[in-house]
Structures are given as structure tokens and as C-alpha cells.
Structure 1
Amino acid sequence: MILQPASFARLIVIVVCSAGLSSCAGHTPQPRTDRPVSPAPVAATPAPGESAPVRSVGERAAVVAVRQVGMPYRYGGASRDGFDCSGLIQYAYKQAGVTVPRTTGSQWRGLRAIDRDDMQVGDVLFFRIRGRMSHVGMYLGDGRFVHAPSSGREVTIAALDSPFYQRAFIRAGRP
């Protein structure tokens, strides 16, 4: 199930900033070559007469991850004090009630591989940075993902179709 833009708007609970670009686990930030991601519409509550949507575990984890936008990057971080890329994934899924491995490598090995055409909100995206799989983000639908880029940066939303991330993307995984 890939959410259409209207469904994506219901998922996002806060307005997001522009995209960042870089790698995880303390790597030197990459040059900013991706385009900014436009803010998503805000949808805090269902319209009158409309019931609240039933959310999958992945959607619940994605809402948690998006709420961390603006939190600082912290190497080894997996709490609201700061996040690294895999720590953000683990934290979001823990808040949604699912245990996910802590490191990018253990997430790679422990999550079921998903083809790009079958990605759903909440899927973990794996990226090859500087020749090795070393970065993860969480798919939000509509070609966007949330991630904790690198030291000196903050949790942000990025576009999967930016040239850098198109080249770096390896596969998705699902708990």
C-alpha cells in the first residue's frame, strides 16, 4: 500500500522542514545536492463525521519518527536527547510496540527485504554511502523519508528521488 498525497497528509502530524543529505554513524556530511522537500499539509484530527483511520504498525512508527524532526543528530543516540539513523528507526518502532535491531547492519540482517515497488509507510530504507551500506531512513510515502543525517545536523525529511538518494538507495526492509 503506497499512500497517495491525500493519505500522506493525514499521516503527517506536524509541518516538516527542508531536506538534508548525508550519511549515518558519524560520517562526514555530504554536500547538499538534493532539493528541499516542501512542507506537508497538517491534519491533526479527522473531519467532522469522518472516523479516525486505523494505522498499521509502520504508519504508527512513521508518525513517531516524523515527530522527531528537528531533534539533534547524536552518534549512538536512540532517545529524544538525540538520534543517529538506526537509533531513530529503533526508537520509532519501539514507541509503536515493535522491537527492531539497533544498528544499521543488524537492521539489514533482521528485517525482511522489500522491493522498491512494494514499499509501505514505515518501511526502513537502506542506503550505500561511500561504498558501503551505512545509512537508514524511514519511508513516509509519496517519495519522502525521515532520517537522522549526521553530526551537526537534525532529524529531517528528504526526497527519495533526489539524485544522491536515487544512487545510494539499496533496498527497503520491513519488521
Structure 2
Amino acid sequence: MSAQVHVPSLFVRAGTASVLTLAAVGGTMFAPGVQADAQAATVSTKALGIAASKKGAPYRWGAAGPHRFDCSGLTLYAFKKAGKKLPRTAQQQYNRTRHVSASRRQRGDLVFFHYGRSVYHVGIYAGAGRIWHSPRSGAVVRLEKIWTKSVYYGRVG
């Protein structure tokens, strides 16, 4: 004899991720940190979309939008438009984020390229090993595969 579990149909249709989002939006937490993580995910998702919307914008050293960007200028602009303030340089942004492992990275996390301990480039993780970034002089904002394993990941909180 098996026991039946009653699950409200709203939860069955919504799925696990949506249930967590509903809980965060409704102000109820199923577990500690769920609401804060859901809010961070929302900001990061918005920032990712904003960065993607700048596809084709030319690189300009020191530029932070809205029509030209360097790498950290793009991340600064995207997160500012999404409601979070970041410092100006890639290194400062790395220092300000909550560091996460590659196995725990999520869409919207920042990807920091480094040589030793020095961070020299940043982009926004788009999933499937790709980032939105403004790569270098003569290039434009674009979606590109991460080309090295010398990266750190940071979550804007």
C-alpha cells in the first residue's frame, strides 16, 4: 500500500524553480537564503539581458555606455541598469563579488579572466560556457565561448 502525497496543482505546473521564485516574491522562505538568492538571480538575469542588448556596441577603453564600452564598463552599465552598483575596474568588481566555483556558476555571474592573482578582463556568464563581453580595441560587444580555464566566477549580491 503506498501513501499518496497531495501537491497543490499550482506547484506541479510551476516547477521547482518557479515555486522558489513564488516563495521569494511572496515573502515566504522555504530555506534560509532563498529569498536573497532569488533576488540576486533576478538582478543578474536582468543584467545579462541588458549586456546582450548591447550586442555590436564598439569597444572603447574607459567607456561605460550607453553606446561604447570597455569590459568592466559593460558589466558596470548592465548591473547599474538592473539595480546594483559595481565598482569601475575588473579587479575592483572581482573584489566586490561573492566568489563561486565553476561548478556552481549561474547565468548572470561575472567571469573574471586572470593571470596569477591579477584580474585583467570581465564578462557576464551566459550559460553553456559562453560570456557577453566587450573584448578589446577594434571589437564589439559579443557573445563568445570562454577560451581559457584561467577564470574566476563572482556573484553580484
SS of aligned partner of 1:109: helix
Alignment partner of 1:168 is 2:150: yes
Percent identity, aligned pairs only? 38
SS of aligned partner of 1:101: coil
SS of aligned partner of 1:173: strand
Q: CA deviation at 1:63?
A: 0.3
Q: CA deviation at 1:132?
A: 3.9
Rounded to whole Å, the distance in 1 between the matches of 2:135 and 2:115 is 11
After superposition, residues 23-102 of structure 1 pair within 5 angstroms as 56-102=42-88
Q: Are the counterparts in 2 of residues 129 and 135 from structure 1 also a CA contact under 8 Å?
A: no
Q: Return 5+ residue gaps in structure 2 as ranges.
A: 1-38
Rounded to whole Å, the distance in 2 between the matches of 1:81 and 1:98 is 20
Alignment partner of 1:116 is 2:102: yes
User: Cα gap change, 1:130/1:72 in structure 2, threshold over 3 Å: closer, same or farther?
Assistant: farther
Larger RCO (alpha carbons 8 Å, 6+ apart): 1
SS of aligned partner of 1:149: coil
TM, length-normalised to structure 2: 0.69
Rounded to whole Å, the distance in 2 between the matches of 1:129 and 1:71 is 27
More helix by share: 2
Alignment partner of 1:152 is 2:152: no
Q: Compute the RMSD of aligned alpha carbons.
A: 2.0
What letter is aligned with 2:47?
Answer: A
Rounded to whole Å, the distance in 2 between the matches of 1:148 and 1:129 is 18
Q: Are the counterparts in 1 of residues 124 and 131 from structure 2 also a CA contact under 8 Å?
A: yes
Q: CA deviation at 1:167?
A: 3.4
TM, length-normalised to structure 1: 0.62
* 1:127 paired residue among 101, 113, 120: 113
Rounded to whole Å, the distance in 2 between the matches of 1:106 and 1:131 is 13
Q: Return 5+ residue gaps in structure 1 as ranges.
A: 1-53
Count of residues in correspondence between the two structures: 117
Q: CA deviation at 1:124?
A: 0.4
Q: CA deviation at 1:80?
A: 2.0
What letter is aligned with 1:122?
Answer: G
